[in-house]
Amino acid sequence: MATEVKVPTLGESITEATLGQWLKQPGEAVAADEPIASLETDKVSVEVNAPVAGVMGAQAVAEGDTVEVGAVIAQIEAGSASTAATPAAENRTAVGQAEAAAPAEPASAPADADAQLTLSPAVRRAVLEHQVDPSKIKGTGKDGRLTKDDVIAAAGQTKPAPAAPASAPATTPSAAPREGSRREERVRMTRLRQTVARRLKEAQNTAAMLTTYNDVDMTAVIEARTRYKDLFEKKHGIRLGFMGFFTKAACLALKDVPAVNASIEGDEIVYRDYADISVAVSAPQGLVVPVIRDAQDLSFAGVEKTIADFGKRAKDGTLKMEEMRGGTFTISNGGVFGSLLSSPIINPPQSAVLGLHRIEDRPVVRNGQIVARPMMYLALSYDHRLIDGREAVTFLVRIKEAIEDPMRLLVDL
């Protein structure tokens, strides 16, 4: 008797996804609640778990296909792997997977072989790109799973596969291209990348977007971090970073300039007395923006722990969709990649985004003397339909004042 595997509910307003990768192939044993496939939604990757234990049966869709919520994508057959291996192989051929299927593992295969069957889409792409054997790589992710960094590190220690035998004809079409030859590769855009592209273009088309700039002297914050970082980490178990200062500074500035924290809905303006701060973090499949809920009520430690957790789970691909909904204001730190200055794009339906950049020593005038100071450029992109230039400048000045005099964060100035 076969049990159908259906696309689970993916969240509010999400009706379809792309089947990113089959984690189990027909004929392989499956445990109840074991991941058998990964789906790529507009925001994150979601694993589909087996509803019952048994053997992976027919796969109704291929990798890259679009599937709707509730659609049947596979079947789980009753019995053991040996009883269903032959028909399962036929099913695999039917959906175009035969060319990518690996030979069946012997019964004595090491335990690591199971880990490679649950590779995330990003890790699987890295494995194919670097041509390494995932079963020989020790994973550092959750439950020993491989991460993209594990694959890249292993690739750096592994010599490339030997070239084709010398006896092969030089004119063989499959021969490797000569060194220095020109090549092109076409890769289908992930659903996340398509959604990001669409939303960013919609923001440009809809909002009257304008960017205002300022710079900030980071001396006081750097000194505070240097002085308290060890005590902070010892007490809270987390490092004291710059994002904690900027998040708390943004909460104060949003309180003073509420229009920056508002949004336009129809012919109405929605003002908020809370700050749900979206923080842009990098994930293998692209940039994601999880939300720090009620950031105005969190301590520095609370902010830093939340951001660190987001960063780790974004890397592992385990962020939840509800964690990326409902932000009221975004902070994007391009400085971690070395950016000197940029104009960030608004994340709709929000009305503003703060861009942070790299810190570098620059000459500035202090008390009539030219001195070197660690300076950072700030950029505030905003919807001019709602936020006036005066309000945008005032907001950036509030950020600047709080960072250059962190005591303001403690006494609510």
Under 8 Å between Cβ of 275 and 253: no
Q: Which residue has the higher pLDDT, 179 or 357?
A: 357
Chain segment 263-300, per-residue pLDDT in tens: 999 999 999 999 999 998 887 767 788 999 999 999 99
**For tokens 């070395």, what's the residue?**
338
**Do 33 and 129 fall within a single domain?**
no
**Do 291 and 382 fall within a single domain?**
yes
**Do 275 and 397 fall within a single domain?**
yes
**Do 115 and 96 fall within a single domain?**
no
Identify whether 156 is part of a domain.
yes
**For tokens 């951001």, what's the residue?**
307
**Do 142 and 225 fall within a single domain?**
no
Identify whether 96 is part of a domain.
yes
**Does residue 122 surpass a pLDDT of 90?**
no
pLDDT value of residue 194: 80
Q: 372 pairs with which residues across the strands?
A: 363
Chain segment 205-222, per-residue pLDDT in tens: 888 999 999 999 999 999
What six digits make up the tokens of 175?
């021969």
Identify whether 277 is part of a domain.
yes
Comparing C-alpha atoms, which of 408, 137, 234, 302 is closest to residue 310?
302
- Which domain does 5 fall in, by range? 1-103
Helix (H) or strand (E) holding 49: strand 45-49
Phi and psi angles of residue 35, each rounded to the nearest 5 degrees, phi first: -60, 130
Q: How far apart are CA 282 and CA 285, in angstroms?
A: 8
Identify whether 187 is part of a domain.
no
pLDDT value of residue 81: 54
> Last residue of a domain, which of 103, 131, 146?
103
**Does residue 312 surpass a pLDDT of 70?**
yes
Chain segment 391-408, per-residue pLDDT in tens: 999 999 999 999 999 988
pLDDT band of residue 109 (cuts 50, 70, 90) is very low
Chain segment 6-60, per-residue pLDDT in tens: 888 776 567 788 888 888 888 888 888 888 888 877 666 778 888 888 888 888 8
In the predicted model, what is the mean pLDDT of the chain?
Answer: 81
**Do 229 and 303 fall within a single domain?**
yes
Comparing C-alpha atoms, which of 16, 407, 40, 21 is closest to residue 221?
407
| Helix intervals (H) in 286-331 | 300-316
pLDDT value of residue 413: 65
Under 8 Å between Cβ of 148 and 123: yes
Q: How much of the chain exceeds pLDDT 90, in percent?
A: 39
**For tokens 């980490």, what's the residue?**
233
pLDDT value of residue 142: 60
Identify whether 329 is part of a domain.
yes
CA angle 401, 404, 408 (to 5 degrees): 60
Identify whether 132 is part of a domain.
yes
**Do 241 and 109 fall within a single domain?**
no
Identify whether 168 is part of a domain.
no
**Bridge pairing between strands 268-270 and 277-279:** unpaired
**Does residue 166 surpass a pLDDT of 80?**
no
Residue 388 designated active-site: yes
pLDDT value of residue 225: 93
Q: How far apart are CA 20 and CA 47, in angstroms?
A: 10
DSSP three-state, residue 239: coil
pLDDT value of residue 188: 80
Catalytic pick among 114, 215, 309, 388:
388
pLDDT band of residue 97 (cuts 50, 70, 90) is very low
**Do 201 and 155 fall within a single domain?**
no
pLDDT value of residue 33: 85
Comparing C-alpha atoms, which of 370, 289, 273 is closest to residue 332?
289
Q: How far apart are CA 257 and CA 330, in angstroms?
A: 15
Q: How are strands ordered across the β-sheet holding 2-6? A: 2-6, 72-77, 54-59, 29-30
Tell me which DSSP letter residue 296 carries: G
**Do 22 and 75 fall within a single domain?**
yes
**Do 137 and 80 fall within a single domain?**
no
Overall number of domains in the chain: 3
pLDDT value of residue 128: 72
CATH label of the domain that carries residue 151: 4.10.320.10
Under 8 Å between Cβ of 37 and 43: no
Q: Check the CA dihedral 235-239-244-246 and report its sign.
A: positive
Q: Which residue has the higher pLDDT, 230 or 173?
A: 230
Catalytic pick among 33, 65, 256, 384:
384
Q: How far is CA 318 from CA 141, 218, 355, in A?
A: 11, 34, 26
pLDDT value of residue 376: 96
pTM: 0.62
Identify whether 320 is part of a domain.
yes
**Do 221 and 84 fall within a single domain?**
no
**Does residue 95 surpass a pLDDT of 50?**
no
pLDDT band of residue 302 (cuts 50, 70, 90) is very high
> Last residue of a domain, which of 103, 130, 145?
103
Please, which residues have CB within 8 angstroms of residue 41's CB and are 6 or more apart in sequence?
10, 11, 14, 17, 18, 191, 192, 321
pLDDT value of residue 42: 65
CATH label of the domain that carries residue 297: 3.30.559.10
Residue 384 designated active-site: yes
**Do 137 and 280 fall within a single domain?**
no
Mean per-residue pLDDT for 91-106?
Answer: 43
Lowest mean pLDDT among 83-87, 146-150, 257-261, 335-339: 83-87
**Does residue 88 surpass a pLDDT of 50?**
no
CATH label of the domain that carries residue 82: 2.40.50.100
Chain segment 324-378, per-residue pLDDT in tens: 888 999 999 998 889 999 999 998 899 999 999 999 999 999 999 999 999 999 9
